[in-house]
Amino acid sequence: MRHATPDDHPGTDGPSLSRAVLVRRALAAAGVVGGGAAVALVADEAGTAPSPDRDLRILRFLLGLEQVQQQFYEQAVAAAALNGELRRFADIVARHEREHVRTLEQVVGPSSSPPTVRPGDAIRDPQAFAATALTLEEATAAAYIGQGAHLTTERITTAARIVSVEARHAAWIRDILGRLPAPDAADPALRPAQATDRIERLGIVE
């Protein structure tokens, strides 16, 4: 369970950093592991104005999500244990996530500590694969929705070109699972710690 963090003063680096430490401790206390320092630093900069520095933090966080997806789907493709439409899904979505990673790396540079994904049975068992993919796509889309408005003008486009594709992935896997592909008239947002939490619960990120 995530601890509530106090709202911070906008602007200066000092309060933002101590806030990041606070959040990192809260996340550690909550048992959220992995993801790298970038995740904790992003967590909840309420009241901070968009800036190139903040862009980097946000995009590094989103890059982390894309990397988890890329690794998951690429390992699914390599294992070649899925059949039919799920195999096609993994093939196509792996390619897309790879492109997303490439695009974000062009902006923020390659990450110093990319996440390590050990998917276990989730790349072999169709039900486990579909459920994992669903969580990944929905959490990623919601994370973009949560952060999009905090980006500088130029980077909003970077995010907007990607988030709709994540939503299409989500609709596809939902339909395969027999769930409503478009459950809401307006899709929900997640804060970084919430998105990370959902993904951590999958148990596939070391």
Partner 1 sequence: MSSSTDGVTSVPEPLTLGDIDRDEAVLEGIAGLYGETRAQLLRKAAFGGGALLAALGAAPPAAAASRDLAILNFDLVFEYLQSSFYVSAVEAGTVSRMAPDKRRWARVLGSHELAHVQILKKVLGDRAVRKPFFDFRGVNESEDAFTRTAVAMEDLTTALLAGQAPRLQDRNLVAAVFSLLTTEARHAAWARRLAGATPVVSPFDEPKSISEVRQVVRRTRFIAARPRTRSRNRPSFTG
154 binds partner 1 (CB under 8 A): yes
CB of 157 to partner 1, least distance (A): 5
**Under a CB-based contact definition with an 8 Å cutoff, are residues 105 and 144 in contact?**
no
Give me the 94-123 binding string for partner 1, x by CB under 8 A, dash otherwise.
-xx--xx--x--------------------
Of 56-64, 106-114, 116-124, 165-173, which segment contacts partner 1 by CB under 8 A? Answer: 165-173
Of 1-9, 56-64, 122-130, 141-149, which segment contacts partner 1 by CB under 8 A? Answer: 141-149
SS3 116: coil
Closer residue to partner 1 in complex, CB, 1/186: 186
Closer residue to partner 1 in complex, CB, 27/104: 104
Residue 42 to residue 198: CA distance in whole angstroms: 16
Residue 59 to residue 36: CA distance in whole angstroms: 13
CA atoms within 13 A on the CB side of 72: 31
Tell the residue number behind the tokens 């609709």, with chain if given. Answer: 171
Residue type, 166: E
CB of 129 to partner 1, least distance (A): 17
